[in-house]
Structure 1
Amino acid sequence: MTTETADINTSEAADLKAIAQVVADVERTQRAKDPDGFLALFHPDSLWTTAHGKVLIGFDAIAEFTRAVLPTATWDGEVTYEVAHTQFLRPDVAAVKVRQVYHSPAGDTEGAPLYVMTKQDDGRWLLHACQNTEVRGE
């Protein structure tokens, strides 16, 4: 292995770790009903589509929706998020498939979000274009 290859692998490993941390922060802020913490994860030019198809274009629309919905959200159980797959589209752009599971006494239900994340000049990864999709049982 050359030093150049080792540096690329080390850099990619660091990016994968940072991306996984953003997904963990989505889980943490959702559970805590923390709109400001959640919104800190978004790029200023982001867009978001909810699991039920509501399209939110731009940070302001996402913020308005999040501040109205998240603090009063109710669910019977807890939700977990985990990275299922990361595909680097460019070194600074990643498509991240997430497994989202709502655990409740009535049984688990799933979501299958896709987060397109971008790496900022300071090294942070932010949510840029996201689509949440409900997984329906057959």
Structure 2
Amino acid sequence: MTTETASAKAAADADADLRAIAEVVATVERTQRAKDPEGFLTLFHPDALWTTAHGKVLIGFDAIAEFTRAVLPAATWDGDVTYEAVHTQFLRPDVAAVKVRQVYHSPAGDTEGAPLYVMTRQDDGRWLLHACQNTEVRAD
């Protein structure tokens, strides 16, 4: 394989990873809108760590699942929520830090969150949420 060919392959692989990561973020959006805890939970690594926007720390899939199943179906918001991967930094080829813009749109006005998702690529090529911190953005 020539240097040019290897470089083109690496760029194609990075593009495929970026698309796969964006799809995970899009699935977060879809499952949040649908209040679908089971769909949401398929996105997590078994050893995941999740910190909510209000500082609740959930360690491991079981804790995340228990919280999500209790909270998400009953979540109330007046409007829609959107998620967008605004920056992805590969820490290693199989580990990415993903900055997300989360906006709750409502008649009373938009509120914003700024999650950080550390995602890992699995042996089967899937990207999963591994260590995540959601942060409420306050308008000061």
Q: What TM-score results when the alignment is normalised by the length of structure 2?
A: 0.98
Q: Tell me the CA shift for residue 91 of structure 1.
A: 0.1
Q: 2:33 — aligned with what? A: 31
Q: State which of 50, 53, 58 in structure 2 corresponds to 1:51.
A: 53
Q: Tell me the CA shift for residue 128 of structure 1.
A: 0.2
Aligned positions of 1:109-128 closer than 5 A? 109-128=111-130
SS in 1 for 2:6: helix
> Which residue identity is paired with 1:120?
Q
Q: State which of 74, 77, 81 in structure 1 corresponds to 2:76.
A: 74
Distance 2:20 2:132 in 1: 17
- Are 1:90 and 2:92 matched, yes or no? yes
Distance 2:73 2:137 in 1: 24
Q: 1:100 — aligned with what? A: 102
Q: Tell me the CA shift for residue 94 of structure 1.
A: 0.1
Distance 2:138 2:74 in 1: 25
Moved over 2 A (4+): none
> Which residue identity is paired with 1:79?
V
> Which residue identity is paired with 1:7?
K
Q: 2:14 — aligned with what? A: 12
Q: Tell me the CA shift for residue 101 of structure 1.
A: 0.5
Q: Tell me the CA shift for residue 39 of structure 1.
A: 0.2
Per mean C-alpha deviation after superposition, the further-off stretch among 1-10 and 119-128 is 1-10
Distance 1:93 1:30 in 2: 24
Q: Tell me the CA shift for residue 116 of structure 1.
A: 0.1
Identical-pair percentage: 83
Q: RMSD of the alignment, in Å? A: 0.7
Q: What TM-score results when the alignment is normalised by the length of structure 1?
A: 0.99
Q: Tell me the CA shift for residue 67 of structure 1.
A: 0.3
